[in-house]
Amino acid sequence: MSALNSSTTRPGEPDPHVGLLGWAWALLIDSRALWGSLDVRPDRFGTRYLLVVYPPGITATERRRVRIWRGWPLWGTLLALVMAATLGRSLGTPTAVGISIALSLSVGALVFVRAGQTRTRVRTVGGLMLATAHDPKAAQTCRRIETLAATMLQADGHLRAGDITPTEHELIWWSVYDAIAHRASR
């Protein structure tokens, strides 16, 4: 079953069957892009690019599980810190730190298992555009990342506007997904 057909509402739109809190939680986990994400951020040495593309055709539940797994290093650390600070007052610092780390790692292991094989099918491509030197190969990689992401964002816009069908959107998604595989295998 296609992930695009698994819901009656589009990403980012309130679902009439869930409350405001449920909608906010779903938006946080689901994001507006079903296909993945583009992260462009300043780096110590220049600008870092990271394109993440989920396997086309996965269900909304599989996509959520993979997003939660991929975010675990950040939220797992925050969970451990908050638990250590909270428990530290009543249990003492060494005990609180031990319990919080053990619990955070246990939750991380559970999320890892729940993400299953889908997490291994996520494709990523990254690049670093150096600020101090021009590297033609790095520039080409970063332009390729921008082009692939623009293709998906444009397809999202056409889908929302009703210019293309969910099936046509998924075909574009497949082409970007495959382009990352071919690029990485060289």
Of the candidates 62, 59, 71, which has an alpha carbon nearest to the alpha carbon of residue 28?
A: 71
Instruction: Kindly state whether residue 14 falls inside one of the protein's structural domains.
Output: no
pLDDT, tens digit, for every residue of 64-86? 888 888 888 888 899 889 989 98
Distance in angstroms (rounded) separating the CA atoms of residues 62 and 59: 5
Query: What backbone phi and psi angles, to 5 degrees, belong to 28?
Result: -65, -45
Q: Which domain holds residue 73?
A: 60-121
Is 80 exceeded by the pLDDT of residue 18? Answer: no
> Model confidence at 46, in pLDDT bands (50, 70, 90)?
confident
Is 50 exceeded by the pLDDT of residue 33? Answer: yes
Is 60 exceeded by the pLDDT of residue 12? Answer: no
CA angle 75, 29, 16 (to 5 degrees): 145
- Mean pLDDT value across residues 44-61: 89
Q: What is the structure's pLDDT at 1?
A: 38
Please list, in sequence order, all residues whose beta carbon lies within 8 angstroms of the beta carbon of residue 137, skipping any fewer than 6 positions away: none
Q: Which of 89, 121, 153 is the last residue of a domain?
A: 121
Q: Which of 96, 121, 146 is the last residue of a domain?
A: 121
Instruction: Kindly state whether residue 79 falls inside one of the protein's structural domains.
Output: yes
- Mean pLDDT value across residues 94-106: 90
Instruction: Kindly state whether residue 2 falls inside one of the protein's structural domains.
Output: no
- Mean pLDDT value across residues 83-101: 88
| Domains identified in the chain, total number | 2
Q: What is the structure's pLDDT at 64?
A: 86
Please report where in the chains the tokens 């679902």 appear, as a residue: 15
**112 and 162 part of one domain:** no
Q: 10: left (phi > 0), else alpha (psi -120 to 50), else beta?
A: beta
